[in-house]
Amino acid sequence: MANNLYLSKTYVQIALNLGFVTQEKAFENTGLTLDKLEKMDQIEFELAIRLLSNLNQYSSTPLWPTILGAHLSVTNHGPLGYATISAPTLGKAIATFVEWGQVRFACYTGEVVEQEDRMEVIIEDITGHPLFKRFFFECYIRAFEILITLIMGKPPKGYTEIYMERVADTVEIELRAAYDSTLVFGAECNKLVVPKELWYTRSVLYDKDSYELNIRKCQQLLDERNLEGRPDLAVKSAINKHFDRILNENLPPSPPPKLSLISEQLHMSERTLIRKLKSYNTAYAAILERERAELATRLLGEAKYTVFDVAELLGYRESANFCRAFKQWYGMSPTAYRRSH
C-alpha cells in the first residue's frame, strides 16, 4: 500500500528551517538537494521514510515531530488550511481538516465518532511503518491544538485529551509539557477527544463564502490526484462530482451514483471495490452518508432551499427519510438545525 503514498515537501522544508538537523545529515543517503526538493510537489513514501529516519537519528531533540506540528500554519496547507480556518464551528474546522487533509497527506484515514458527551477524532495509519505512524500523528495532532487555540483564542488546556498508542518512555515528561491536551499513553488507537461543548463552539473566524470556495478548491485538488491507490477518495470524488453538477449546472435532482457505476468507472469489479474499501476501514454507504451529511448543512445554510429541496438534491425519495437521517447525524431535525444556526 505504501507505494501509492506521499508526503508534502512542506514538512521537510519547515524541519530544515527549524534547525533540527543540518542539511547534510537530513539528506544523507537520499540523493536529495535543496534544489531537487524545491522542484518537487510531493515526496514519495520510500524517500520520505529515509528523510524521517535521518531526522529521527540526528535531531537535536526527540520532540521534533511535536515542535514541527506547532509550526504548521494555515498558509502551509493552501485551500485545505483556509477552508479549515473559515469553518462555522470548531468541530466543523476539525472535521474539515480530517476529511480533506487526506487529499494532501494520503497516508491516513480519519473518522469522527460521536460519544455521549464528547467527539473522538480517530486517526488510522495506512502506511504500516511504525516510525512514520508515530511521527505523523504527533506532528498532526499538535497542529490540531494550534488550530483549536487560534479559534478559541486560548489553548485547550483542561478540555481536550490526546490518546497515543505510543508507550510512555524517557521523554514522557517532556511530551506532557509540549502538548496542551491531557496525554494518555499506551492507548488502543491514536485519537483526539474533544468535549461536545467545545466541539460546537461557534468560530469568530467563520466566513461562509471563503469556506465554500476553498472546499471547492479542495475538491479540485482531489480530482487532480491519482486516486488509483485510494479507493475511498475515488468514491468520495465520484459522489462529490455528482452533487456539484446538480448544484452548479442547475440539473434536476437525481440519485447519487451507485457502487456498481463507480466500480465500472474505476475499471474494477464491484466485489473488488468493496474489498478495497474495507481495507481502508470504510464502505460505499459510509462515504455516501458522510458526504450527504456535510452537504446537508451547507444547503440548509442557504435560505433559497427548503428542507424538501435539500432532501431532493441529496437524492432522497422521501423528505421524511432525509429528516430521519439528519436527526441521526446531528441529533436534531433539519428545521431545528436551520433555526439554531
For residue 172 the three cell numbers come to 514522557
Are 311 and 333 members of one domain?
A: yes
Phi first, then psi: give them for residue 7, nearest 5 degrees.
-135, 145
Per-residue confidence (pLDDT) for residue 226, from 0 to 100: 67
Indicate the residue type of 32. L
- Pair 176, 166: CB distance under 8 Å: no
Distance linking the first and last C-alpha atoms of the chain: 42
Domain residues for 35? 2-60
Query: End of a domain among 60, 86, 107?
Result: 60
* CATH number of the domain where residue 238 is located: 1.10.10.60
Per-residue confidence (pLDDT) for residue 256, from 0 to 100: 95
For residue 290 the three cell numbers come to 458522510
For residue 312, being part of any structural domain is answered with yes
For residue 47, being part of any structural domain is answered with yes
Quote the CA–CA distance of 22 and 172 in Å, as a whole number: 26
Looking at the structure of the chain, the number of domains it has is 3
Give the pLDDT means over successive 10-residue stretches in the chain (341 positions). Answer: 66 90 94 91 87 94 94 83 93 92 84 91 92 94 94 92 94 95 97 95 92 89 75 92 89 93 93 92 93 91 92 94 93 90 70
Per-residue confidence (pLDDT) for residue 250, from 0 to 100: 82
Quote the CA–CA distance of 57 and 21 in Å, as a whole number: 9
Per-residue confidence (pLDDT) for residue 316, from 0 to 100: 95
- How far apart, in Å, are the Cα atoms of 281 and each of 98, 108, 162, 239, 331? 15, 11, 21, 18, 25
Quote the CA–CA distance of 82 and 213 in Å, as a whole number: 9
pTM here? 0.82
